[in-house]
Structure 1
Amino acid sequence: MDLKAILKELNIQAKYIGKMEFDTLGVSKETGIKNFCTFIDEERFIEKYSKNVSLILTNAELCDKINFNNKCIVKEPRLTFFKIHNYLANKDNYSYQRRKEKTKIGVGSNISKLSEISDVNVIIGENVTIESFVSIKENVIIEDGAVIRSGSVIGGEGFEVKRESDRTFVVKHVGGVVIGKNVEIQQNTAIDKALYPWDDTVIEEHTVIDNLVHVGHGAKIGKCCMIVANTGIGGRVVIKDNCWVGFSSTIKQLLEIGEGASINMGAVVSKNVEKGASVTGNLAIDHDKFIKHLKTMR
């Protein structure tokens, strides 16, 4: 894709240094894709971009500080990036991984007549249970033995909203969701699809998610996890295998929760949690430290 042609179409003024060609869009640290365009609008990210980046959107203040051959200078790099994403969202050369294919449903699956399943780009495995008033959107894979309880929405739009002057615009989501084998998702839970066409929100096998849980776009939840009711999991969070996330917990976007960690009831997690750790409180700290501090207060 040619960035010059896209920005001309969007009527965005820019200055170009080097080649302006790219295959897709992605965040600066992404390593799972190649030849992608990203943005840098803060100095702290200058040395943190992936070697797979082919083109950087930035502003005039940061341009000379970024030692990279292919740069595009615009007034607002972040806004411009997401405007490009929205422009490309319906283009075949951007959403190439999501070609329209007729929905497939495996043998032995029990699907309520009161559920809503997209006619295209859904794959449902064998012996899956989908209860009444479930909504399954495009770009969703549900593997064998999974259970989706009443009222849940799988593959809905995520929450990515940008403010421009006196208005806002919603960023389109063109990724997918993968629900692993023998996962159970209980009543009225929302699993948002990923933002980028190459990405999925993933719930791995034997994980159980309780009622009224929100899983943000691009999150990755490992095997045999237990996520209790009213929990909010931010976009692109990674939760490793065998984790416990207690009632009404909140996990900030972009964090990593280590294998076997426990996020205790009501915790507000604002930084990464190490393997096997147990955290409590707002803002969450080591559980034993929290209890010790609580006793001193009493």
Structure 2
Amino acid sequence: MFTFATESLAAFRDRFGLGVVRDCSFAFVGKIPQKIAPRLVGCVSAHLISDACAFNGISGIVTLPELSDLVPDHLGLAISEAPIASLYQIHEDIARRPDFQWKSFDSWIHPSATVHNSAVIAPRNVRIGENSIIGENAVICPRTLIGDNCGVGPGTVIGSEAFEVNNFTSPRRVLYQSGGVMLGNDVEVQAKCTIVRATFGGFTLIGDETKLDCQIHVAHDCQVGKRVQIAACAELSGRVSIGDGVFIGPNATISNGVSIGEGATVTLGSVVVRDVPASARVTGNFALPHTKWLDFIRSIR
């Protein structure tokens, strides 16, 4: 489990191209909107620094030298000619330390759980709760916590690597992942789904009583509420937030960082690129309020 151990920014002075101006302590490197804390973030523009100041849990900022005066005095500050590259190097450094961010444990399966003999369960850092069922050829990767009375269908992979590419290395490679996946109680994930673990720490979360149909992809750091229903072949991109009681139709795509409010409906095939208010119903590519979409269709007939 996460230890929330902290490191000082000063420990990286003159490493990874950093100049440390003000020290701070942080447990994670992360993106500005994430909820893991305390975290160090990278900002390459004035508006990103302004955004960072509005979020809780940020203890320090890595930015360009010409933007350093914009960082308020209460935040730690490091300067770099390539802030995101430096940030990724810090992340890789602390994430790979044994038992620093995460205290490793032997995997544990409740005696009442059923695991098919073709399923693959990582030998460490997995917990499977009471009466849960893991189906044929399912793969449960490290840092996955599955609650009670859950079902994982055939061929589903939970806890796979996130598609967060480090474009600052040669050759380019996928960034080392340090987060996990948490399924609440009474969650059902049907066949051939993929639920990706969080990138920088914390969990990709699937709330209690949520049901996922077949061939759904839930990307890194998504936060899916309780009693959500997601139909077949839907795509949730990174850091999507889904409120309680939402319905997402088949083949819908939700873009990175979008929030879907409680009780909302996303109809089949919709491509959602903006936040959706609670109880709203959206349709189309790009998705509009359902009644506006109907009006548009009528206007072109």
Per the normalisation by structure 2, the TM-score is 0.91
Within 1, Cα distance between the matches of 2:72 and 2:184? 42
Equivalent residue letter for 1:63:
S
Bigger Cα displacement from structure 2, 40-49 vs 268-277: 40-49
Look up the match of 1:85.
Answer: 91
Q: Which residue of 2 aligns with 1:256?
A: 259
Aligned to 1:265, the other structure's residue is in SS state: coil
Q: Which residue of 2 aligns with 1:192?
A: 196
2: distance between equivalents of 1:202 and 1:166? 33
Q: How many Å apart are 1:16 and its aligned residue? A: 2.4
TM-score of the pair, normalised by structure 1 = 0.92
CA contact (8 A) 1:176 1:194 kept: yes
Task: Report 1:91-106 matches (<5 A).
Answer: 91-92=97-98, 94-95=100-101, 98-106=102-110
Task: Judge conservation of contact 1:23–1:94 (CA < 8 Å) in 2.
Answer: no
Distance in 2 of aligned mates of 1:258 and 1:101: 36
- Which position in structure 1 is the counterpart of 2:236? 233
Distance (whole Å) between structure 1 residues aligned to residue 103 and residue 99 of structure 2: 10
Matched, 1:203 2:209: no
Gaps of 5+ in 2: 1-6
Distance 1:284 1:195 in 2: 28
Question: C-alpha root-mean-square deviation of aligned residues, in Å?
Answer: 1.8
The DSSP-based 3-state class of the residue aligned with 1:46 is helix
Q: CA deviation at 1:23?
A: 3.2
**What is the deviation of 1:119?**
1.1
- Given the alignment, which residue of 65, 72, 76 partners 1:60? 65
1:135 aligns with 2:142: no
Deviation at 1:173, TM superposition (A): 1.1
Amino acid at match of 1:48: D
Counterpart check, 1:46 vs 2:68: no
Going from structure 1 to structure 2, the CA distance change for 1:242 and 1:46 (only over 3 Å counts) comes to: same
Residue 222 of structure 2 corresponds to 219
Partner of 1:3: 9
One-letter amino acid matched to 2:243 = K
C-alpha displacement of 1:15? 2.4
Number of residue pairs matched? 292
How far residue 18 of structure 1 moved from its aligned partner, in angstroms, is: 1.9
| 1:119 aligned partner | 123
Letter in 1 for 2:174: V
Deviations 1:190-246 (A, max 9, x none): 00011123x101111111101111001111111111111111101111101111111
In structure 1, runs of 5+ residues without a counterpart are: none
- Equivalent residue letter for 1:19: D
Q: Distance in 1 between matches of 2:35 and 2:105?
A: 28
